[in-house]
Every structure is written in C-alpha cells, then in structure tokens.
C-alpha cells in the first residue's frame, strides 16, 4: 500500500515540475489552491481527476487525499488557506482571470508564508484582494469522475485507453456483458452526467494532456475522436472560452 503523507499545513510557494513529474498521495489539515501558471496540472483523488491549464486553478479542501501530476514544463504555484472562502468541501476547478493570476503569482513568489501566516502590511493587502478574487472565481466543469461499478468502470477503462473509440453505449455494453440501459443509469448515478457528456469530458481531458505535450491541434483532434480539427476547436472553445492553440500561451 502506498504511504499517504500527512502535512499539518498546506504549503504556500512555487514548485517547478518537469513533464511527467508529480507529488505522491498526501493530505493536509488546511485548504489549498494549486495553480500552474505554465504547463498544466492534474489532481487525482478517489473521486476522480481534475485538470487545470493556465486559465484554471484547483481547489483542494482540507483532509482530501490527492496526487499532483505535471503535463508539460510546469510552474506550480501553491496557496495554503486556513479558512474556506469558497465554502466548498470537495475539489473544484476555478476560472483564473488576469488579476487573480497575477495575485497568485505575486503571493507565491515570496515563499514561506501560508494562508495562516503573517498578513500584515503590503502582504496582508495582497492577501485580502486574492481572497476577494477567489470568492468571485466561477467554478468550471473540468472534473472527470471515477466509476465504482465494475461494469461501468470497464467501459470507462476502454475509453481511457482509446478516447477515439466511437462505439455506441450499446456496443460497449455488449463487450462488458451488460445493457446500455444499465450503463446509462450507472452513468447518471455514479458520474453525475450522461454517457455522451462523460465521453466529451474524457476527450477534453485527454486533449489537454496532448496539447500540454506539444501535440498539434489536428493530431489531438484525431486521437481524441473528433471528426475534424474544426469540430474539436468548436467544442474546446465552448468548454474553455478560447481555442486549443491558446491553451498554454495565456
């Protein structure tokens, strides 16, 4: 069994990560915002995976066992918080606008002061504005939940291995020995969304990973199951608000 490290406080500061590098399973007694101002970060818990390019940050509530993984050359910024300004008791992806981005970068450039540290003077004013911007940051649907039922988990594993697999739910159900109605019901109950919605989330998740590794947009579209680059760009823009070509240049 992998040992889970326990930290009394979530660290604050900057941590560069090479492509593919990660931080193993751990938890801390305080909350944390993780943000990659360059590259992309994924955070995995028992409930699924959250992904965040440079326009997103990930909220990790206290006590959550989680792992980090870098995709591309990643400049990871960590902000520890003793209070919960978001009122969320589960991980979430938050939109990061230009002001919040600069606040996180400025605050984490001075390592060693966490959310419960000395917040007097200039640093205190910076912290107050950062918290205000966090409260205003809208949540984004970039969560890829994990299935628990063995039948649904088997179908999810098939599509994780090949996101471009275009078989229908009925065809996939036949492969794992169940019915499409059963899988559709399990999707709603365990994943909180329909099968087509989950498959789109999966494809966007894989697309982000490929883009972070420098794959061309056309290649990403093909490997993730879109019929054309234009179809992929359209779905990506509607999900993130910008085109795939801008995903790691913000």
**pLDDT digits over 120-147, tens only?**
688 889 999 999 999 999 887 778 888 9
Q: Which of 143, 166, 201 is the last residue of a domain?
A: 143
Containing structural domain, residue 210: 147-246
> Do 177 and 136 belong to one domain?
no
Task: Give the integer Cα–Cα distance in Å for 240 and 40.
Answer: 14
218 or 212: which leads in pLDDT: 218
| Per-residue pLDDT at 115 | 42
Averaged pLDDT score across all residues of the chain: 88
Could you list the beta-strand ranges (E) of the chain.
Answer: 5-7, 13-17, 22-28, 31-45, 48-52, 56-60, 66-81, 92-95, 139-140, 143-145
Q: What is the mean pLDDT of residues 90-98?
A: 91
Task: Give the integer Cα–Cα distance in Å for 170 and 172.
Answer: 5
> Do 29 and 137 belong to one domain?
yes
Tally the domains of the chain: 2
Rg (CA), the chain: 19
CA dihedral 35, 38, 43, 48 (to 10 degrees): 110
> Do 55 and 106 belong to one domain?
yes
> Do 80 and 162 belong to one domain?
no
> Do 137 and 188 belong to one domain?
no
Q: Which of 113, 143, 173 is the last residue of a domain?
A: 143
> Do 117 and 10 belong to one domain?
yes
**pLDDT digits over 148-187, tens only?**
999 999 999 999 999 999 999 999 999 999 999 999 999 9
Q: Which of 143, 173, 189 is the last residue of a domain?
A: 143
Asked if residue 78 lies in contact with residue 32, where contact means CB atoms within 8 angstroms, the answer is yes
């Amino acid at each position: 069994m992998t040992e889970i490290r326990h930290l009394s406080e979530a660290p604050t500061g900057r941590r560069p990560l090479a492509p593919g590098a990660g931080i193993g399973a751990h938890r801390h007694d305080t909350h944390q915002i993780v943000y990659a101002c360059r590259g992309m970060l994924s955070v995995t818990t028992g409930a699924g995976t959250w992904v965040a390019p440079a326009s997103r940050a990930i909220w990790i509530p206290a006590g959550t066992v989680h792992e980090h993984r870098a995709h591309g050359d990643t400049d990871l910024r960590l902000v520890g918080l003793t209070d919960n300004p978001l009122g969320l008791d589960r991980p979430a992806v938050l939109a990061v606008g230009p002001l919040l981005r600069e606040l996180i970068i400025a605050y984490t450039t001075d390592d060693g002061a966490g959310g419960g540290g000395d917040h007097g003077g200039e640093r205190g004013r910076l912290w107050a504005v950062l918290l205000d911007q966090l409260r205003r940051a809208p949540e984004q649907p970039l969560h890829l939940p994990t299935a628990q039922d063995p039948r649904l988990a088997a179908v999810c594993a098939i599509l994780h291995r090949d996101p471009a697999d275009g078989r229908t739910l009925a065809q996939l159900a036949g492969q794992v020995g169940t019915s499409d109605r059963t899988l559709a019901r399990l999707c709603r109950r365990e994943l909180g969304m329909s099968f087509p919605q989950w498959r789109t989330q999966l494809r966007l998740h894989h697309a982000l990973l490929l883009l972070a590794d420098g794959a061309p947009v056309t290649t990403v579209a093909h490997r993730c199951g879109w019929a054309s680059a234009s179809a992929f760009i359209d779905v990506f823009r509607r999900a993130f608000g910008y085109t795939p070509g801008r995903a790691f240049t913000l």
